């Protein structure tokens, strides 16, 4: 009886692990695919992604120190940066907006998204994506 219970628990744990792994993988694929979808949407609106556009990147940050760190990193890469307080947001009371005139190329935009997610997480913040008008 005890071996049956152990077996059932192990099978259940393996099934839960498989489900959680699948969900994480789908989230990562969806996040990377988001950049391509956004570029396709820009094309539908008549923008030529091969011509430079002002591209806006958004971060939600927990404090001024995180804003300063990210601001300095982005300005060295040629971004224009502004920071606004968002006092009603208790978790991320600062919003950092960075703009750069650039081509909107899928592999490059995916690279920015990956790098900026890590940069935000390293500073206890969140990368909220990019957009272009």
DSSP, collapsed to helix, strand or coil, labels residue 51 as: coil
Tokens of 74: 């982005």
Domain regions of the chain by residue span: 1-133
Tell me the per-residue pLDDT of 72-131, one tens digit each, with 9 for 90 and over.
Answer: 999 999 999 999 999 999 999 999 999 999 998 889 999 999 999 999 999 999 999 999
The fold adopted by the segment(s) 1-133 is Alpha-Beta Plaits (3.30.70)
pLDDT of residue 27: 54
Nearest to 35, CA basis, from 115, 117, 112:
112
- The pTM for the full model equals 0.72
- Give percent of the chain above pLDDT 70: 83
Tell me the per-residue pLDDT of 21-47, one tens digit each, with 9 for 90 and over.
Answer: 666 665 554 455 888 888 888 888 888
């Amino acid at each position: 009886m005890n071996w049956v219970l152990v077996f059932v628990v192990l099978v259940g744990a393996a099934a839960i692990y498989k489900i959680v792994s699948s969900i994480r993988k789908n989230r990562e694929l969806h996040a990377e695919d988001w950049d391509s979808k956004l570029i396709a949407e820009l094309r539908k609106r008549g923008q030529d992604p091969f011509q430079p556009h002002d591209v806006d990147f958004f971060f939600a940050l927990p404090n001024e120190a995180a804003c300063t760190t990210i601001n300095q990193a982005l300005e060295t890469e040629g971004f224009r940066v502004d920071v606004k307080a968002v006092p009603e947001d208790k978790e991320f009371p600062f919003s950092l907006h960075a703009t750069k005139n650039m081509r909107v190329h899928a592999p490059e935009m995916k690279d920015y998204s990956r790098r900026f997610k890590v940069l935000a997480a390293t500073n206890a913040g969140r990368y909220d994506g990019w957009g272009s008008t």
